[in-house]
Structure 1
Amino acid sequence: MATELAYRDDAYARDITARVVSVGAEGVVLDRTVFYARAGGQPGDAGVLRWAGGEMAVAEALKGPDDTVLHAPAAGSTLPPEGAEVTAALDWDRRHRLMRMHTSLHLLCSLIPGAGVTGGQIGTDKSRLDFDVPEPPTKESLTERLNELVAANHAVTDSWITDAELDANPGMVRTLSVKPPRGSGRVRLVRIGGDGAPVDLQPCGGTHVRATGEIGRVEVAKIENKGKANRRVTLVLAGE
C-alpha cells in the first residue's frame, strides 16, 4: 500500500497522526506521512515518531518499495509496534531551511535561461546547481538579481499536468540528470509568479515556501568550473 503524502497538500504541516503499516531494520512504513523522502537532490526529512509508551528518532525519510516512505531510525532507536497509532513530527527548522533553499534554486534556474541543469544538491547550509553553460553571469550580478526576486515576494504554487502534456512541452524540463517524477499518469508543476509570465515553471516533486519573500536574503558563494561548459553555482542563506 502506497504511503499517502500529506505534504503534497500542505508543505507546512509539521506533524500528522498515522498508523504503522510495517516495521523493519531499514525503516518504518506509515499509512500517511508529512516526511519528504530523499529524491531529486533534496534530502529526506528528519524528526520523530511518538506513540503510547515510546518514541523513535527518524534519521531520514527514504523511498521504499511500492511508493512507500521509509522512516529510517536513528542508531539505537526503539521501533514502534506494527499497527500502532503514531504522531509523525518533523524537525521543522531543518525542513523549512530546505524549503527556502529549494525555492531559491528555482529562482537561480530562472536567471540562467536555456541552460540545462546537469546536477544539483539541496542542503541546510549550502545548495548548488550545475549548469551546462560556458560562462554564467557573475556572482555579484546573480546575487543582486536573486534578492530582487526574493524581495518581490512572488507567490509559489503548484498544479498538475498529464504525462502527455509534459511530453508535448519538453522545454519545461531543465534538469538533465534528474527526471521529473512520473509513473502515476500526471506530473506536478511548481510555478513561481503569475500565470501569464511566471518567473519559473518546471516539474518538481519537492517542498517549497509559499512566497519568495520567505526565503530571506541569499548569496551566491562561488561559481566553479567543473569541466567544459559545466559551471557549479553555490548558494547560501546570507546572515545565518
Structure 2
Amino acid sequence: MTELLYATDSYLKSFECRVQSVDETSRAVLLDRTAFYPGGGGQPCDMGLLKAVNGQVWPVTRVKKTPDGIWHTLGGEAGLPQPGDALHGELDWERRYALMRTHTALHILCGVVFRDYGALVTGGEMEPLKGRMDFEFETLTHERITEIEEAVNREVQAARPIRVQILPRETAFQIPDLIRTKINLLPPEIREIRTVEIVGLDLQADGGTHVANTAEVGRIRVVDYKSKGKINKRIYIEMG
C-alpha cells in the first residue's frame, strides 16, 4: 500500500519515494509513498513530475487510487523506472494550491448553507479557482444568493483555522452531521475516517486537500446559480 503523505500534510510540495510496481501497458508506477492526490470528492488529481537519481524526468499526467495503492501515469517516451528505483516527486504546486483554496471555499459554502438553511449537498465538482455545488433547495432566489455570498466572505475574513484529523470509524460517526451529502459515500470497509474542520463553522468527512486558514481562500464570488430539479439547485463560485 502507498503511504498517503497528502492526507496529513497538504503543503508538501516534494517528496522522496521508491517504485513498488510498474505497469508497462499504461505507463504507470505504483509508489511506496506519495504527495500526489489521486482525485476524489469532486477534486481532480494532482499533476507534476517524478525524477530519477540519474536526472531522468517523467511528467505525471494522471494519478489514480486502487486497492493496491496510488498509481502514477507517466508521460513522455523515455523508459520507465523499475521496482526498487528511488525517485524524487514534485507537485505542480500552483495548480495544487489553487485546488486547495477552491476545495476549502466549497466547504465554506457548504458550511454556511447547512448552518443557515439546513440544506444537504447533492453533488459538486471543481477545477482550479472555480467550482460548483448542488444543494437540496426547493427555491433559490437572487436575494438568497446575495445573502450566501456575503456570508461566505465573512467566514473568509474571520480567518478560521482548518484542522484535519484521522479518526477510528466508530469515533468519527459519533460526530453529528459528519456526512453532509445526501448519500453516505463511506462504505463499511473504511475503518478510519479523515475529517476536515473549519473551526467554528463546519466539520465533515473529507479526503481532499485544504488550506490551513480560511483567509488563504481569498474573496469568493457566486457567479451563477441554476435549478437542476424540483429540490436540487446548483451554485457556481469563482476566486481571483
- On the 8 A contact 2:30/2:70 being kept in 1, the answer is yes
- On the 8 A contact 1:219/1:235 being kept in 2, the answer is yes
Show the 5 A alignment for 1:13-24.
Answer: 13-24=12-23
Equivalent residue of 1:220, what SS?
strand
2:150 aligns with 144
1:210 aligns with 212
Structure 1 range deviating more: 87-96 or 164-173: 164-173
1:163 aligns with 169
Could you say what the CA RMSD is over the residues aligned between the two structures, in angstroms?
1.8
- On the 8 A contact 1:4/1:33 being kept in 2, the answer is yes
1:10 aligns with 9
Give how far 1:126 is off.
1.6
For residues 218 and 85 of structure 1, do their structure 2 counterparts lie closer, same or farther at Cα, with a shift above 3 Å needed?
same
Count the aligned residue pairs: 232
Equivalent residue of 2:81, what SS?
coil
- On the 8 A contact 1:55/1:78 being kept in 2, the answer is no
Q: Taking every aligned residue pair, what percent have the same amino acid on both sides?
A: 37
For residues 209 and 125 of structure 1, do their structure 2 counterparts lie closer, same or farther at Cα, with a shift above 3 Å needed?
closer
- On the 8 A contact 2:112/2:201 being kept in 1, the answer is no
Which one of the candidate residues 225, 228, 232 is aligned to 1:226? 228
For residues 78 and 147 of structure 1, do their structure 2 counterparts lie closer, same or farther at Cα, with a shift above 3 Å needed?
farther
Hey, what's the Cα distance between the residues in 1 that align with 2:155 and 2:97?
19
Give how far 1:15 is off.
0.6
Which one of the candidate residues 174, 188, 198 is aligned to 2:194? 188
- On the 8 A contact 1:58/1:72 being kept in 2, the answer is yes
Which one of the candidate residues 160, 176, 179 is aligned to 2:182? 176
Hey, what's the Cα distance between the residues in 2 that align with 1:149 and 1:39?
25
Q: Deviations over 1:10-41 (max 9, x none)?
A: 11010101001111133211100100111111
Give how far 1:220 is off.
0.7
Hey, what's the Cα distance between the residues in 2 that align with 1:30 and 1:115?
40
TM-score by length of 2: 0.90
Give how far 1:177 is off.
4.8
For residues 136 and 110 of structure 1, do their structure 2 counterparts lie closer, same or farther at Cα, with a shift above 3 Å needed?
farther
TM-score by length of 1: 0.90
Equivalent residue of 2:152, what SS?
helix
1:116 aligns with 120
Hey, what's the Cα distance between the residues in 2 that align with 1:136 and 1:174?
19
Q: Deviations over 1:190-227 (max 9, x none)?
A: 1112xxxx200001111000000011111011111001
Hey, what's the Cα distance between the residues in 2 that align with 1:55 and 1:74?
10
Hey, what's the Cα distance between the residues in 1 that align with 2:110 and 2:153?
14
Hey, what's the Cα distance between the residues in 2 that align with 1:186 and 1:165?
9
- On the 8 A contact 1:112/1:136 being kept in 2, the answer is no
